[in-house]
Amino acid sequence: MKAGETDSDPFFAKDTWARETGIELMTVSKGRASVRMQVTARHLNSHGTVHGGVLFTLADTAFALASNSHGIPAAAINAHISYVKSASGGTLVADAEEFSISPKIATYTVTVRGEGGEKIAIFQGMVYRKTPRT
């Protein structure tokens, strides 16, 4: 799926910011998601490396897709990212994986990797799940 093509996931289709930054949806399944981004000049900071906000947006998009993959609205209540290596070009991939889930809270880990598979950033996030009342 290319940026702007959103037929396969209605949640991603509504994320205009992610698409505007060039993020492409790769896969979504229960508790998991993968997205990618081709780095362009607009993604670089003053040092010529990918801006931390761009990396956060990429990871946050995978996090949002994974946490909302169960069909229950989920909103972030905490997110943290550690930048472990700089990137200056190529394609970046963010893979989100569910770490724990309960009726109200779920946690996720997202790994951002460069083209060679090297780890660029580690993101951890927690969501509040709006579970239906019974």
Alpha carbons 107 and 98: distance in angstroms, whole number: 6
**Residue 70: inside a domain:** yes
Return the residue matching tokens 């209540």: 77
Question: Residue 7 has what pLDDT?
Answer: 47
Q: What is the pTM of this model?
A: 0.91
**Residue 3: inside a domain:** no
**Residue 109: inside a domain:** yes
**Residue 74: inside a domain:** yes
Alpha carbons 25 and 17: distance in angstroms, whole number: 13
Instruction: Provide the number of structural domains found in the chain.
Output: 1
Structure tokens at 100: 């724990």
**Residue 75: inside a domain:** yes
Q: Which residue segment(s) compose the domain that 82 sits in?
A: 10-129
Q: What is the CATH number of the domain that holds 59?
A: 3.10.129.10
E-strand stretches of 4-134:
23-29, 32-38, 74-83, 91-101, 105-113, 119-129
pLDDT in tens, 50-64: 999 999 999 999 999
Is residue 131 very low, low, confident or very high in pLDDT (cuts 50, 70, 90)?
confident
pLDDT in tens, 25-77: 999 999 999 999 999 999 999 999 999 999 999 999 999 999 999 999 999 99
